[in-house]
Amino acid sequence: MIPVTQYNGHAVAVLGLGRSGLSAARALKAGGATPVCWDDNEDSLSAAEAEGFLIANLHSKTTWREHEFAALILSPGIPHLYPEPNPIVKLAWGHGVPVDNDVGLFFSLFTGHWNSLETEDEPWPECVAVTGSNGKSTTTALVAHILQAAGKNVEMGGNIGRGVLDLEPPSKGVIYVLELSSYQTELARTLSPSIAVFLNFSPDHFDRHGGRGGYFAAKKRLFEKSGIDRMIIGIDEPEGCFLANQLRQDADEGHPVTAMSVTKSLRGRGWSFFAQEDQIIEWAGGKELARIKFADMPALKGLHNQQNACAAFAVCKSLGLTTDEISTGLKTFSGLKHRMEYVGRLGTISFVNDSKATNVESAAKALGAYQNIYWIAGGQGKEGGLDGLKGDISNVKKAYLIGQSAFEFSRLLGDTPHEIAQTLECAITLALQDADADEQASVILLAPACASFDQFPSFEHRGDTFCDQVLALINKDMR
């Protein structure tokens, strides 16, 4: 845990007692503050009270009169502006109390209090912050993996794994690698990583940010603060092109922007990383500096993962790693669990768990990454059904439909060969029978394009069940 020392001796209101809220309360208390906690959920209140935290109804004006709050720390799931500000946020505004979040607390320490740590033997900690609409978790985990494989001291967290204040305090040579969502970057009062990454931009969370422009502005905030040594910007969408152009300081080779693309050849001025000819190419000073083959990265299939790999290459080069060190990390990365996770192989049949694909857009990425697919889909359907897939099922030899949406998906698939299996176990059995009769190498892919709650408590449980059943088949075959 990282103690938050800047509010020592002061009362701080904490609203929302989930993972990040409780983490912030603990960190504030460890730093000498008095956190005053509230959550509208009774179970969350009971959990905080059991830890000894002071509980007070922050909806009450009396609470605000009794405590001279130095700040209100807000959990990311609580709206602070759109679609409507939380009433407690309005009370903070009315009392002139600054509103912040755990990410803001982390960076205020990173830029201020930790600065005194830097000596010749004890360098100031580095921090990589990754944002974007898609691929944040994979890129964050990939960067952390490459750095760890190269022997670096790494702490990973934020919107993935542990909350930022649950990470270990700074130590010699530590590199913090953080995934940051738009909910986190929009509110944090301080944002100043050493390296900031903008992967891509696509429609999402418009209700929370007041539209497309508000969503982009929330992402853009990460790059508007001082103290960033390098900004790695994906320029495959207009928003990324705009952002990179806005941040360029001059026309020489020394500006802090590194461009990245999986659709464009970036052989111009400056430092760039781009995908071409099934390779990542590093370009700077008017010449090619390095290449790494995507064929050597078994867990990074598909165009979206090529983008993640380009970003990770750029980050790790910025941190001083060699191409060989980065290549080793890319080759040994096993991927995130439930995200196009390679489970195993039976003969020429590969099994892939993409249970995290709970919507059509996510499933489409997996369907575009493989050939000769036997696709397991279905579950608790979402609005629009399979409308978003359009031409993305050309690689599907046959689909096996499970759960609540099975009959609806059957109607929507039209001429695509498919069968209603209802259960995951039955779907695996049917898919294996058909794939086994196929003379070509094939992939049995779980990419449901649906929520899991009709048959499983979570997408994780659904994915674990798939993996368990597949591994049981593989182990039986080996015997």
Strand-pair partners of 353: 341, 446
Instruction: Give whole-number Cα distances, 157 to 168, 448, 449, in Å.
Output: 10, 27, 27
Express each pLDDT in 346-364 by its tens digit: 999 999 999 988 888 888 8
Mean pLDDT of 377-383: 87
pLDDT of residue 429: 97
Dihedral of CA atoms 41, 47, 52, 55 in degrees, nearest 10, equals 0
Q: pLDDT, tens digit, for every residue of 258-280?
A: 999 999 999 988 899 999 989 99
pLDDT score, position 120: 56
DSSP code of residue 166: G
- pLDDT value for 409: 92
Least trusted range by pLDDT, from 37-46, 64-73, 266-275, 296-305 = 296-305
Task: Identify whether the C-beta of residue 340 lies closer than 8 Å to the C-beta of residue 141.
Answer: no
* pLDDT tens per residue, range 227-267: 789 999 999 999 999 999 999 875 545 579 999 999 999 99
The bridge status of strand 271-276 relative to strand 154-158 is unpaired
- Is-contact 270 282, C-beta < 8 A? no
* Domains of the chain in sequence order: 11-100 (3.40.50.720), 104-332 (3.40.1190.10), 341-478 (3.90.190.20)
